[in-house]
Amino acid sequence: MSRSDVLVDADWAEAHIGQPGVVIVEVDEDTSAYDKGHIPSAIKIDWKKDLQDPVRRDFVDKTGFENLLSERGIANDDTVLLYGGNNNWFAAYAYWYFRLYGHDKVLLLDGGRKKWELDSRELTRDVPERPRTSYTAKEQDASLRALRDEVVAAIGKRNLVDVRSPDEFTGRLLAPAHLPQEQAQRAGHIPTARNVPWSKAANEDGTFRSDDELKTLYADEAGLDLAGRDTIAYCRIGERSAHTWFVLHELLGLPNVKNYDGSWTEYGSLVGVPIELGEAR
């Protein structure tokens, strides 16, 4: 697996608009941006309505994922190109999710919606119609997802990468600074975690930094033992850490990297678990 197998640029996307076998999908939590204009031929997936179980805090199950992709006209042998706003957070989450359910032909658009907009490329309001398919998903690949007990057991034993902003990591803020600050959970971070904000992996236009820059960031600057230890990435709800999971697992090709999608909204609400405040120790 290398960068070119998983990441494409806007020229590639433009050349594949409307091509058979390629489905372009915009993914976001707030899909109003799609409704105002999207890449021609792109369909949309709503991170919350389509990918989250409406009752339990969990994914939609295998049958639900099969129904979603069948209804959107995505076939098992289609190449799915994902992009979105928020510097591709939710598109990276969807990428991780597609891989969890065994869809291997999936790509991420470097820079996502932001670079496309800043480059003044074409956006349309036309919504494509795709004929229904009969999609078959695989069972969830547990090697990509960390659950809470595994995270607690990993304290001091594995690399824990907290990808939130420094103020969220130290406990000054409970949410990113574009959101009102909640009071429901405890602030801080998981003991022994290192803080490598997702934003350090991205350039200003939302594209990923080079492989060499990324290796320097995680191994040299953050001091993570990437070769000797398995890694778990987390944030607040698991989408920024999906961005970092994509960097570590897909771009840098590290084998044992999991995303903890329960993240701080789960961990910071657990009774009895250790929490650290302030800088990393």
Partner 1 sequence: MTADGCGAPAGGVSVSTVAGSLGTQAVVEGRVTLQGEPVGTGYARLLGSGDEFVAEVPLGDDGGFRFFAAPGSWTLRVLAPGGLRAEQAVQADYGQVTKIEVAL
DSSP string across 129-167? --------PPPP-GGGB--HHHHHHTTTTSEEEE-S-HH
Window of 3-11, 103-111, 160-168, 244-252 that interacts with partner 1 by CB under 8 A = 160-168
Least separation in angstroms between CB 6 and partner 1: 23
Closest distance between partner 1 and the C-beta of residue 239, in Å?
6
Q: Specify the stretch interacting with partner 1 by CB under 8 A; choose among 102-110, 174-182, 187-195, 219-227.
A: 174-182
- Taking CB under 8 A as the binding criterion, the range among 8-16, 38-46, 237-245, 246-254 that sits at the site for partner 1 is 237-245
Least distance (Å) from partner 1 to the CB of residue 113? 8
**Nearer to partner 1 by C-beta: 66 or 168?**
168
Q: In what order do the strands lie in the sheet with 43-46?
A: 7-8, 106-109, 79-83, 22-28, 43-46
Backbone angles phi, psi at 209, to 5 degrees: -70, 170
Catalytic position from the list 235, 237, 242, 248: 235
Of the pair 205, 230, the CB lying nearest partner 1 is at: 205
Token couple for 170: 């130290």
Query: CB 164 → partner 1: shortest distance, Å?
Result: 10
Q: Which two tokens stand for residue 149?
A: 């007990």
* Distance of alpha carbon 248 from alpha carbon 254, whole angstroms: 6
Encoding tokens for residue 210?
């080079």
Query: Which member of 127, 142, 179, 277 binds partner 1 (CB under 8 A)?
Result: 179
Q: Which is nearer to partner 1, 47 or 135 (CB)?
A: 47
Reply yes or no on whether 235 is catalytic: yes
Q: How far is the CB of 136 from partner 1 (least distance, A)?
A: 29
Which member of 73, 128, 176, 253 binds partner 1 (CB under 8 A)?
Answer: 176
CA-CA distance, 273 to 126, in Å (whole number)? 49
Residues in the chain: 281
Place of tokens 């607690």: 152
59: which residues sit within 8 A by CB, 6+ positions away? Answer: 51, 52, 53, 65, 97, 100, 140
Judged by beta carbon, residue 71 or residue 122, the one nearer partner 1 is 122
Distance CA 26, CA 17 (A): 13
Answer yes or no: are the C-beta atoms of 210 and 3 closer than 8 Å.
Answer: no
- With CB under 8 A as the contact rule, the residue among 237, 242, 247, 251 that binds partner 1 is 237
Rule CB under 8 A: is residue 221 a binding residue for partner 1? no
- How deeply is 61 buried, as exposed, middle or buried, from its count of CB atoms within 10 A (0-12, 13-18, 19+)? middle
Q: Interface residues with partner 1 (CB under 8 A)?
A: 28-30, 32-33, 47-48, 52, 57, 85-87, 89-90, 114, 117-120, 165-167, 172-173, 175-185, 197, 199-200, 204-205, 235-237, 239-240, 265
Q: Would you name the residues annotated as active-site residues?
A: 235
